Structure 1
Amino acid sequence: MAEKVLETLRIQLRDGLTEPVIKNLLDDLRAENVLGTEEIEEIVQKTKTRTDQARDLIDYVRKKGRKASEILLQSLKIRDKHFYESLDIDSHLAIQETGATSSHIPITADKPKTTTDEYKMDNNPRGICLIINNENFENPEIKRNGSQKDVDSLKHLFEYLGFLVEIKKDQTASDIKELMIVYSKERLHADCFVCCVLSHGDETGVEGCDQKICPLNDITSPFDGDNCPDLIGKPKVFFIQACKGHEMQSKVLVADGSASSRIQKSGNVSYSIPKDSDFLIATSTVQGYVSIRDPSSGSWFIQSLCKHLEEGSKRGQDILRILTLVNDDVSRKEGLIKTKDNDEIDAKMTPQPLFTLRKLLVFRPPKVAAYK
């Protein structure tokens, strides 16, 4: 029965329910008269962590019995289909209906279910993760202090995810272009190729340490189907930490999930991703705007990406869901930066993923063999 499924999957649900999904589930349960206002207020107390809220939500509903539990699970199926399917809840419900005991139910969160709707990710190593870190430039005044923090975080993350990590530092624009050609011919490609570029940039591309621009297309096109047959049908992932202009994004207020009364107008997008399939290009900011980096802790985008991708991979979350969480996290950050005139202005930004993926992309950490 449904309440038994909630009991069996309690830990996975507690760890996997995100704050936006919890809020949506509570709205649905209120509408269905499963939970009252006082119960919901008790669950979402400001002093409670997300984990506490998820745990209390599950326990409150489970104790109300089968019908309430069924409503919660159906709501979850609508609100977060990928997470619902990663736990294989429909199979759990079917087993309960046939009278199987909970000891016979597999815990699928520890052994995620891979389907044909998901890119293959089971080689060890998974593939290559190339990190290009441009920290020092011809003009020493524009050194990217704090960039090494991003390198360290990315290296830790992708080694954990089973990739061979290779780091190249202070590359000119022509060096970057040549590196892409060299790596597109690499024979160690397995399930996926990842490239992280950390540098300055503008509307036209990424800046080399010689302060010349390498267009984004020169970074991605060597890996398309014509130029890199070994990666046909496999995901090619690019994380770009660089400014794409000189403007600071406007700050608007959002209340109760409604749209702001002040809408920022955006210009035409002047770049595009390759028309071939299976690309993901996640940039740290949108066209025309600066990207923010803290000299003491690293860039907003890369640090948030590493945090959410490591956590999400443990739950079997796909990359687009994770990048949505990164967008929300970075968009909420507050800061101040100094202009050329030494004035302080509000620092705000939002990342932007562009993709031609055809399947779910889930970075599954390889299993560590146990000693006998």
Structure 2
Amino acid sequence: MADKELARVRGRFVEKVSKALIKQLLDDLLEDRLLNDGETDSVLEDNTGKADMARCLIDMVRRKGDRASRKMIQHLENRDPTLHSELGLTCKPTPGEIPAPQNQHAWSNSLVTTTDSFWNEKRKSKDVYAVSDESLRSRVALLITNRNFANERLTRKGAEKDEENMEKLLRSLGYEVVKHNDLTAQVLHTFAEHPKLRDTDSVFVVIMSHGKRECVFGVNHSEENKDEFPVDNIYRHLGPQECPALMNKPKIIIIQACRGETGGSVLVSDSASAKVVSDDVSQQLPANGGGKIVDDAIRYVHKEKDFISLLSSTPAHATC
């Protein structure tokens, strides 16, 4: 019986489980309707320490019988397989029950966090960037969204939705988000002086605008007024020379902008006599003229498809 399994590992569960995992298990059991709101609140609010919360949770579930206990064991295995294995838990289905399919991963609209054991293991590794509790509290990200341009034809309709989703993602990862909207090309200078950069363990810079190969456009950009921000300036402003606070820290740059005016795909045919039908992606699929072209033999492929490029130096720098 599953409730006896929980009784067997009770002491080690109380010792090893984290507070974050307790909350996750409570959420799972609440969603299964095996616990109610009052019971979940009782576990968290009526107990001062992590160990007492763990004792309260496992005893509460055990008293509810085999089904609730089996569900908790299953959720523990999904949430923290390492702890589940360390406890040596087993949960055989009752007669007539169909076991749940294994290795099925459903899509989620919310961030799925890693297991505590994996997180703690990586934090202690010398092969990853150092992360501390202080650096987690000091994480900071820059989010620039240019939607409304002086030239109304360039208005990026729907950009506010991209901004909303990106901000949600960054905040869920623990970053304070410094937001700017509808900017000209002068902005990154001030971010490089943000007071939290000294203590953060990493930085995100997200820029969403129009652009071309080596530049992102400010909102005043036009043919006459080149309001451009060179992408290379990001590396200069946040590099060790101008921003030593970010030395030896990951700096993740995300740019949502065009890098030219031509399409990135070509229209190709499976026919041996016509490898490329057109490199103009605006062209419609050609009509079937006299049976010479078969519609389902024509498709678009990316121009740089299947390339892997390894360069010995970064742009504009000599190979040492």
TM-score range normalised by the length of the shorter chain: 0.3 to 0.5
Which structure is larger by alpha-carbon Rg, 1 or 2?
A: 2
**TM norm structure 2:** 0.47
**TM norm structure 1:** 0.41
Larger relative contact order, structure 1 or 2 (CA cutoff 8 Å, min sep 6): 1
